[in-house]
């Protein structure tokens, strides 16, 4: 595979500007995020990652309950499983419904019970999971709902509720490549006053100051600002990707191989300031991404054998990627073989169902999740960055078409 000269990102993250680094005071980042979700100023707690926000959430819930089980969808970010294990809680994996990443309501009903502490439905690639069944089933079982909006900051449910604000608690991620980034960061949303008080008490203990971690993140953030563009991404994203593909290591290529230990520390005012300044540009950035995505979704509609996941009636998702579902896994594999590594920002979101990652064998219980495995085998994502021009998009579309016609291009 020849290395392309430019490299497009697999997701559309908001590019930073050097003036985001200016030393003038910005409004606090936690407050900006709360306002984005139309909540009061105290609703969000800033954390060093989305994973850390989940650790904080579960730690707060665990203090007030003897329940010990946490239910997550079988097709989601492996970090959720690692956070549950970190908290000493028991993971229960819920298979998805056929052809989707949402938890299957029947499977979820069978898992919810007297030991269920929390259910964690997740939105993926800006597409919203329907929270109707998770909220209803969790409430009936006396469990909490933690809405994972790590990939959907700025999205809205059909009833108008912003993603992240629809559950009892909500997770946001500010990791590299997510909509808004401070290289690694996150936030925990809480509504209930007692929960908020518990979180406020736990946060300084769970996320102590760590000059070593924070210095590392500051350097990484400067690197992100410098390299998150088509010329720079070739070095920091494209090279390691193609090396992993040459080794046949799909987990590494998708960046799904996370360490089992979670950095937990305070985020400095310096990084919070940068995030807060960039946050002001997020709404316009999301609108532009949406326009691009809707136009391009329409262009892909003519390809038989590929479905672009879209919004359901009334929903307004975000568009970090166009998420495609192939009818035939062989066609997906054929498209991926030609496009992943080609520098066009095409990727495979999560490569396995949670029980199928070898490195998570000790962390995830071995329960069958056939629908999640099938979704993993048929999904493909096109990064919806502003750098993907019409010509490059046409090249992607041509490969998709050829792959669906029989895998030979």
Ligand X SMILES: *Cc1c(COP(=O)(O)O)cnc(C)c1O
User: CB of 310 within 8 A of CB of 319?
Assistant: no
Interacting residue with ligand X among 9, 13, 15, 50 (CB under 6 A): 50
d(CA 64, CA 117): 10
Residue 204 is classified by DSSP as H
Question: Residue 111 contacts by C-beta under 8 Å, 6 or more apart in sequence?
Answer: 71, 92, 94
Spatial CA neighbour of 57 closest among 163, 174, 200, 213: 200
Q: Give the H or E element holding residue 134.
A: helix 132-141
45 sits near ligand X (criterion: CB under 6 A): no
Question: Residue 62 contacts by C-beta under 8 Å, 6 or more apart in sequence?
Answer: 68, 87, 89, 117
Q: Estimate to the nearest angstrom the gap between the alpha carbon of 288 and the chain centroid.
A: 20
| 96's tokens | 């998805």
Interacting residue with ligand X among 11, 45, 51, 59 (CB under 6 A): 51
Q: Which ranges constitute the DSSP H helices of 248-389?
A: 250-253, 269-279, 282-300, 329-339, 370-378
d(CA 143, CA 137): 8
Q: Tell me how many residues contact ligand X (CB under 6 A).
A: 14
Q: Which is nearer to ligand X, 103 or 331 (CB)?
A: 103
Q: How far is the CB of 186 from ligand X (least distance, A)?
A: 5
Q: Which of residues 174-233 bind ligand X (CB under 6 A)?
A: 175, 186
Q: Which is nearer to ligand X, 36 or 334 (CB)?
A: 36
Q: Which is nearer to ligand X, 10 or 198 (CB)?
A: 10
133 sits near ligand X (criterion: CB under 6 A): no
Order of strands across the sheet with 306-308?
Answer: 306-308, 321-326, 379-383, 346-347
320 sits near ligand X (criterion: CB under 6 A): no
Q: Which is nearer to ligand X, 217 or 338 (CB)?
A: 217
Q: How far is the CB of 301 from ligand X (least distance, A)?
A: 26
d(CA 117, CA 106): 18
347 sits near ligand X (criterion: CB under 6 A): no
Interacting residue with ligand X among 11, 32, 49, 403 (CB under 6 A): 49
Q: Which is nearer to ligand X, 118 or 400 (CB)?
A: 118
Q: How far is the CB of 122 from ligand X (least distance, A)?
A: 5
Q: Which is nearer to ligand X, 138 or 303 (CB)?
A: 138
Q: Give the H or E element holding residue 170.
A: strand 169-173
Q: Which is nearer to ligand X, 150 or 169 (CB)?
A: 150
Residue 5 is classified by DSSP as S
Residue carrying the six token digits 């490549």:
177
Interacting residue with ligand X among 104, 148, 168, 256 (CB under 6 A): 148
Backbone angles phi, psi at 62, to 5 degrees: -65, -35
Which region among 43-51, 238-246, 285-293, 321-329 touches ligand X (by CB under 6 A)?
A: 43-51
Q: How far is the CB of 148 from ligand X (least distance, A)?
A: 5
151 sits near ligand X (criterion: CB under 6 A): yes
Binding mask 260-299 for ligand X (x = CB under 6 A): ----------------------------------------
Binding mask 52-91 for ligand X (x = CB under 6 A): ------------------------xx-xx-----------
120 sits near ligand X (criterion: CB under 6 A): no
User: CB of 73 within 8 A of CB of 103?
Assistant: yes
43 sits near ligand X (criterion: CB under 6 A): no
Q: Give the H or E element holding residue 189.
A: strand 186-190
Chain positions contacting ligand X, by CB under 6 A: 49-51, 76-77, 79-80, 122, 148, 150-151, 173, 175, 186
């Amino acid at each position: 595979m020849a290395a392309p000269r430019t490299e497009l990102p697999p997701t559309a993250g908001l590019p930073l500007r050097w003036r985001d680094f200016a030393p003038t005071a910005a409004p606090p980042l936690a407050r900006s995020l709360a306002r984005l979700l139309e909540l009061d100023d105290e609703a969000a707690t800033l954390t060093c990652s989305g994973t850390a926000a989940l650790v904080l959430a579960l730690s707060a819930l665990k203090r007030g309950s003897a329940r010990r089980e946490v239910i997550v969808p079988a097709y989601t970010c492996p970090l959720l499983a690692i956070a549950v294990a970190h908290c000493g809680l028991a993971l229960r994996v819920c298979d998805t419904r056929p052809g989707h990443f949402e938890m299957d309501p029947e499977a979820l009903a069978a898992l919810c019970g007297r030991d269920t502490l929390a259910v964690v439905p997740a939105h993926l690639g800006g597409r919203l999971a329907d929270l109707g069944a998770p909220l209803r089933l969790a409430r009936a079982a006396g469990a909490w709902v933690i809405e994972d909006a790590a990939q959907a900051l700025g999205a809205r449910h059909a009833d108008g509720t912003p993603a992240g604000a629809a559950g009892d608690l909500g997770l946001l991620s500010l990791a590299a490549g997510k909509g808004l980034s401070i290289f690694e960061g996150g936030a925990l949303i809480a509504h209930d006053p007692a929960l908020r008080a518990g979180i406020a008490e736990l946060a300084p203990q769970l996320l102590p100051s760590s000059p070593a971690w924070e210095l590392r993140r500051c350097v990484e953030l400067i690197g992100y600002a410098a390299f998150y563009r088509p010329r720079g991404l070739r070095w920091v994203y494209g090279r390691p990707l193609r090396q992993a593909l040459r080794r046949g290591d799909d987990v590494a290529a998708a960046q799904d191989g996370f360490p089992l230990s979670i950095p937990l520390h305070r985020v400095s005012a310096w990084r919070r300031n940068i995030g807060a300044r960039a946050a002001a540009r997020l709404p316009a950035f999301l609108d532009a991404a949406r326009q691009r995505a809707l136009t391009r979704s329409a262009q892909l509609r003519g390809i038989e054998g590929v479905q672009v996941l879209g919004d359901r009636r009334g929903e307004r998702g975000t568009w970090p990627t166009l998420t495609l579902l192939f009818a035939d896994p062989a066609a997906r594999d054929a498209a991926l073989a030609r496009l992943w590594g080609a520098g066009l920002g095409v990727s495979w979101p999560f490569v396995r169902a949670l029980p199928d990652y070898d490195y998570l064998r000790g962390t995830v219980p071995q329960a069958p999740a056939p629908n999640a495995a099938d979704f993993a085998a048929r999904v493909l994502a096109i990064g919806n960055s502003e750098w993907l021009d019409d010509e490059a998009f046409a090249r992607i579309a041509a490969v998709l078409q050829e792959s669906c016609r029989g895998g030979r291009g």
